């Protein structure tokens, strides 16, 4: 997994609550057995008409947001299905940071395991960011060690992140390798139950 320490990028605002993983990556794309290549299907049913032409009523298709790498969403972002294809699609499309007032648990975990930084801010803060990103070209810089988000006008916010998740992201750990250093304890646990 790639580490993430600091990131600066253009914001894409998605002002909807309860964006579920069925919307992030619809089921017709879950049949692939690879991890890569899901970006083209991100928000597919919102982005495209039945015949595959892009819809101009969905903001991600607005050229203004081309190259965006920070997604700011609404409450309960990533709810529903546990499909890790959702963060795979978000990442493959080019997003490195997702900011929302609240996240669904499994989605939050899945982000961290893939090196996407999920940031929880208050809904006032996210609403303000969404507004600015809708009106202008809005960029943010995110600093994980400091746990801050800043914009160019001097606005800034701090965020919480569990220390284990923070370390995982900062180091780009292979979590399985970490766990395997506890193999003796797992053996002992199994023996005690046998």
Partner 1 sequence: MAQPKTIIDKIWEQHVVHQEENKPDLLYIDLHLIHEVTSPQAFEGLRMSNRNVRRPENTYATMDHNVPTRERHIIKDAVSKKQMETLKDNCTEFNIPLADIHHPDQGIVHVIGPELGLTQPGKTIVCGDSHTSTHGAFGALAFGIGTSEVEHVLATQSLWQETPKTLQVHVNGELGTGVTSKDLILAIIAKYGVRFGSGYVMEYTGDAIHSLSMEERMTICNMSIEAGARAGLISPDNITVDYLKGKRHVPGGAAFDEAAAEWLNLATDEGAQYDAVVEIDANEVEPQVTWGTNPSQCVPVNGSVPNPADYDNPNDKDEVERALIYMDLEPEQAIQSIPIEHVFIGSCTNSRLSDLRKAADIVKGKQVSGDIQALVVPGSQSVKDAAEKEGLDVIFKTAGFEWRDAGCSMCLAMNDDIVPPGERCASTSNRNFEGRQGNGARTHLVSPEMAAAAAIEGYFVDVRKFTAAVGG
Binding site for partner 1 (CB under 8 A): 15-18, 20, 22-23, 26-28, 30-35, 45, 50, 74-76, 79-84, 87, 102, 104-106, 109-110, 113-114, 162-164, 174-176, 179-180, 182-183, 185-186, 189-190
Cβ 34 to partner 1 shortest distance, Å: 7
Burial of 108 (0-12, 13-18, 19+ CB in 10 A): buried
Minimum gap (Å) between residue 84 Cβ and partner 1: 4
Q: How far is CA 70 from CA 66, 90, 104, 124, 177, in A?
A: 11, 10, 18, 18, 29
Whole-angstrom Cα distance, residue 155 to residue 33?
43
Shortest approach of partner 1 to residue 137 CB, angstroms? 24
Distances (CA, A) of 123 to 3, 19, 49, 127, 128: 27, 15, 31, 6, 8
Min dist. Cβ of residue 148 to partner 1 (A): 21
CA 134 – CA 33 distance, rounded (Å)? 36
> What's the closest the beta carbon of residue 155 comes to partner 1, in angstroms?
22
Between 56 and 63, name the residue whose CB sits nearer to partner 1: 56
Compare residues 69 and 110 and give the one whose CB is closer to partner 1: 110
Which pair of tokens denotes residue 98? 């997702």
Q: d(Cα 110, Cα 149) in Å, to the nearest integer?
A: 22
Q: Which is nearer to partner 1, 66 or 175 (CB)?
A: 175
Q: Which is nearer to partner 1, 10 or 29 (CB)?
A: 29
């Amino acid at each position: 997994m790639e580490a993430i320490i600091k990131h600066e990028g253009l914001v894409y605002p998605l002002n909807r609550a309860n964006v579920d993983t069925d919307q992030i990556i619809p089921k017709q794309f879950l049949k692939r057995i690879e991890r890569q290549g899901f970006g083209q299907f991100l928000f597919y049913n919102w982005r495209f008409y039945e015949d595959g032409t892009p819809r101009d009523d969905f903001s991600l298709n607005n050229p203004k947001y081309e190259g965006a790498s920070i997604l700011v969403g609404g409450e309960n972002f990533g709810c529903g299905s546990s499909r890790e294809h959702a963060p795979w699609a978000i990442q493959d499309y080019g997003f490195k940071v997702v900011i929302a007032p609240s996240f669904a648990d499994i989605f939050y975990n899945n982000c961290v395991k893939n090196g996407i930084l999920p940031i929880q801010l208050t809904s006032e803060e996210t609403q303000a960011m969404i507004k600015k990103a809708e009106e202008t070209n809005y960029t943010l810089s995110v600093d994980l060690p400091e746990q801050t988000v800043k914009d160019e006008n001097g606005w800034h916010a701090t965020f919480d992140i569990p220390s284990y998740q923070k370390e995982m992201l900062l180091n780009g750990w292979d979590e399985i390798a970490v766990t395997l250093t506890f193999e003796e304890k797992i053996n002992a646990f199994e023996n005690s139950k046998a």
